[in-house]
Structure 1
Amino acid sequence: MDALLERLRAGLPAEALITDPDVTASYAHDMASFCDAGTPAVVVLPRSVEEVQHVMRTATALRVPVVPQGARTGLSGAANASDGCIVLSLVKMDRILEISPVDRIAVVEPGVVNATLSRAVGELGLYYPPDPSSWEMCTIGGNIGTASGGLCCVKYGVTAEYVLGLEVVLADGRLLNTGRRTAKGVAGYDLTRLFVGSEGSLGIVVKAVLALRPRPPQQLALAAEFPSAAAACDAVCRIMERGHTPSLLELMDRTTVRAVNAMASMGLPESTEALLLCAFDTPDPAADLAAVGELCKASGATEVVPADDVAESELLLQARRSALPALETVKSATMIDDVCVPRSRLGAMIEGTAAIAEKFGLTIGVCAHAGDGNTHPVVCFDHTDPDESRRARASFDEIMALGLELGGTITGEHGVGVLKKEWLARELGEVGLELQRGIKSAFDPLGLLNPGKLF
């Protein structure tokens, strides 16, 4: 410990090092349940690329593990500390270095908050689409680490589609540049995409070149009530089959709707079994909403209510953004699953989750990015009750198994971390896992970067 601190202090300002155990303990984990976390030796908050390089050179010399962190809003334990590690928190590297309306790119450091970037580019008539529910807190570096998505994925895609290039500090302190600033580029292997979603296990992202789009018109939304989740999912299939491209297509089940009302008094219809929210940012959103409204009625919607204006649409979107925080108030703890299935199997996924909730005697609310089949079953439980905690974990595993059975994946945007290591192995298979471990070894031969995550 003394040798580690001495070497770190040689290349870092005093304020960049935190050793107080009461403070370092607060950096030990992210927001996931059932994920072990160790005790870090030190927390480092660098402000420059050179400081990150110094940390990695020190870690390599002394064989000390390093756990990169953003805002710790993750839901899989990917940012959890390991015993004796250096926690490398990148939140102080929070500068927007460049915004180019001509090239339609932004160049940012990893600690930039998603919402901060979105507002900055918006002032120039541009748009950065990836918008996780935690966008007011989560950082771009964390978004890149977990390949996060958001409410607008159905039309605009996820983080991976907007990362053009990266500057990465490797495990031994060398600096790697990947990708490009240009609209096109196919030179060599796509190392940029390899780092997106790698959860800090291959290198430390210290700069990102992000693609931007022109700011779209403000969107209008509608809310459709359904007598069952199956009917709502049928409407989703009809909407996509007819070629509509909504900017948002989200679903909340009855449990979620009631939780949102209880927390935020949103006035959502509690008599509904499923509430579907659809929005368009097209030149004529009212016409698109009218067409979708008819499809919802054909699928059995009992009520279809288009918003009158942008302000009312924003209220509906805020209700959806409140879903996860609201479900967290139902019990003392939650486990948030992240299973993505083909759109055509969305109804089976939601009905199967309801059956799992009944089997284990638990409250499980489901909200979903319905347009891309990404469900978020939220298992609510009392963490002080050992039996209820056991049932919560068992239900979580059954939900993931159901997703794989339906041709889906164990994570659409939250990552693997600690929580889903066993399930990643099941999804990849023996050959896939072997090759992934080989890639990890090529970038991090000593296994110092975020050990114990993914595999």
Structure 2
Amino acid sequence: MTSTRTFPAHADVVWHDDHDTVRAFRFDRSGWEPDVTPAVVAQVRSVAGVQHVLRLANSMGLPVVPRGAGTALTGAAAAVDGGVVLDLTGLDRVLGIDVENELASVQPGVITADLDRAARAVGLRYAPDPASVEISTIGGNIATNAGGLRCAKYGVTRDAVLGLDVVLADGRLIHTGRRAIKGVTGYDLTGLFVGSEGTLGVIVGATLRLRPLPATTTTIAAYFDGPAQAFAAVAAIRAAGVVPSVAEFIDGPTLARIAEHAASTLKAAGNAFLLVQIDGAAALAEAAIAVEALRPMATSVTVTQDPDEAETLVAVRRAALPALERLGRVLIEDISVPRSRLTDAVAAVERAAAMTGTTIHTFAHAADGNLHPIVVLRPGQDFEHPDIQAAANAIFRAALDLGGTVSGEHGVGVLKRRWMRIELGEDVVALQRGIKDVFDPLGILNPGRAI
């Protein structure tokens, strides 16, 4: 193992190569467990500290894995053997909120929910709302272009990012974008860094768009006989001219696991559950239209404007993945298809489970076609088990056949690289590798991830 004595001291960098610390930073939340041992963990406290680490790593040819809270679900934040883990959680300040222009300036280690709470204190909110909102960091959200519950109306992380501060592989600090809402000067480097999974540069600061808090929010909870009726209800709501901020689907088996995990008072009254939120000044009137549209398909419908009741319902959705993780190791998948093909996608997932003898639970951001099939591994299985691989491959193939993508919001990381090449084609992949070479000629930034 490389000794920290190899690395010159810096006031804002703490080097760790002790066994316990290094092992703690090997894996991310994906559950993928490569047999790797990083050489050192560099915990940074300033932008200058990040520059120091990257200059050294670049000069020594050492791979660097930028890491926030480690909540990545594709292996993108897992360590590289013999490399440097760059821990950015020490850069955790909200630097300022501009109320008049509805902007926030933040460091990458800020927890997503903490930014939202800071914005709410002045009558605003941070719209991107991943299920990991209480544990994920802004830097990680930007690196993966995270989505979330409210993305159907307010967009994904990319739609909230106006500008970035980025340290390149050789230690140079650049600034992209602007503080204005509009701007088309030059190539969109900000958009290029969003979703790049740490392969082009290390995000050390962001200018983010905030939104006004909605005047009112109405929450609808509905049960259905099956997924087809639930997705038809979402289509009916859209056809009625209502754009929900949230439309979350949970299948019956997942809802049962949530009830076991969270002691939920909700009991399955059907084989599918839909959580819909409509916000804004006209929320109550639009909710009435939505209920009228979905009621013919539903077995039961509940409507509330009580914030506490609404939060309880939202918490049920956020509890889906933790509840399934209690069953054992899980492979967390993330595909997206046109909304009109959601029922076909769920049917394809069910066929994949039957064909491979695996257990697959499904929940989804139904308003934008993003599904999360969760494959539950049996004792003794790992991600490389033939049944698990066959199930994942069937899910990915179905997504592409239905006109979708193999990753809606989690990114590519390590686990989806082969299918990314299938989806994009070799010519596009070659172009992306050429872009990577421009920003990172030595290939030290998160090697083996994404492209």
Match of 1:158 in 2: 156
Q: Give 2:387's aligned amino acid.
A: R
2:431 equivalent to 1:435? yes
Q: Deviations over 1:337-381 (max 9, x none)?
A: 100101010111011111211222222111100000000011112
Match of 2:301 in 1: 304
2:324 equivalent to 1:317? no
Paired with 1:416 and 1:388, the residues of 2 have a C-alpha distance of 17
Of the three residues 342, 350, 357, the one matched with 1:354 is 350
> Could you say if the C-alpha distance between residues 390 and 126 of structure 1 is closer, same or farther in structure 2, counting changes exceeding 3 Å?
same
Match of 2:73 in 1: 75
Q: Deviations over 1:170-198 (max 9, x none)?
A: 00011111000112211100000000000
2:328 equivalent to 1:328? no
> Could you say if the C-alpha distance between residues 272 and 168 of structure 1 is closer, same or farther in structure 2, counting changes exceeding 3 Å?
same
> Could you say if the C-alpha distance between residues 287 and 391 of structure 1 is closer, same or farther in structure 2, counting changes exceeding 3 Å?
same
Which residues in structure 2 correspond to 1:133-152 (within 5 Å)?
133-152=131-150
What TM-score does the superposition give when structure 1 sets the normalisation length?
0.96
Which residues in structure 2 correspond to 1:216-227 (within 5 Å)?
216-227=214-225
Match of 1:395 in 2: 391
Q: Deviations over 1:35-85 (max 9, x none)?
A: 535211000111111111111110111111101001001100000111110
- Matched residue count: 451
2:221 and 2:303 in contact (8 A); partners too: yes
Q: Deviations over 1:263-282 (max 9, x none)?
A: 11212232411111111112
Paired with 1:262 and 1:56, the residues of 2 have a C-alpha distance of 46
Paired with 1:230 and 1:18, the residues of 2 have a C-alpha distance of 52
Displacement of 1:100 in angstroms is: 0.5
Paired with 1:187 and 1:222, the residues of 2 have a C-alpha distance of 43
Match of 1:8 in 2: 7
Q: Deviations over 1:5-56 (max 9, x none)?
A: 345333245x711111121111011011345352110001111111111111
Q: Give 2:280's aligned amino acid.
A: T
2:275 equivalent to 1:254? no
Match of 2:50 in 1: 52
2:240 and 2:293 in contact (8 A); partners too: no
Paired with 1:371 and 1:156, the residues of 2 have a C-alpha distance of 12
Q: Give 2:321's aligned amino acid.
A: L
2:240 and 2:290 in contact (8 A); partners too: no
Of residues 411-420 and 276-285 in structure 1, the stretch that sits farther from structure 2 once superposed is 276-285
What TM-score does the superposition give when structure 2 sets the normalisation length?
0.97
DSSP 3-state at the match of 2:312? helix
Displacement of 1:389 in angstroms is: 4.2
2:337 equivalent to 1:338? no
Of residues 239-248 and 170-179 in structure 1, the stretch that sits farther from structure 2 once superposed is 239-248
Paired with 2:170 and 2:151, the residues of 1 have a C-alpha distance of 36
Match of 2:270 in 1: 272
Q: CA RMSD in A?
A: 1.6
Of residues 63-72 and 211-220 in structure 1, the stretch that sits farther from structure 2 once superposed is 211-220
- Structure 2 unaligned runs (5+)? none
1:256 and 1:367 in contact (8 A); partners too: yes
Of the three residues 405, 419, 422, the one matched with 2:418 is 422
Paired with 2:425 and 2:83, the residues of 1 have a C-alpha distance of 30
Displacement of 1:391 in angstroms is: 1.5
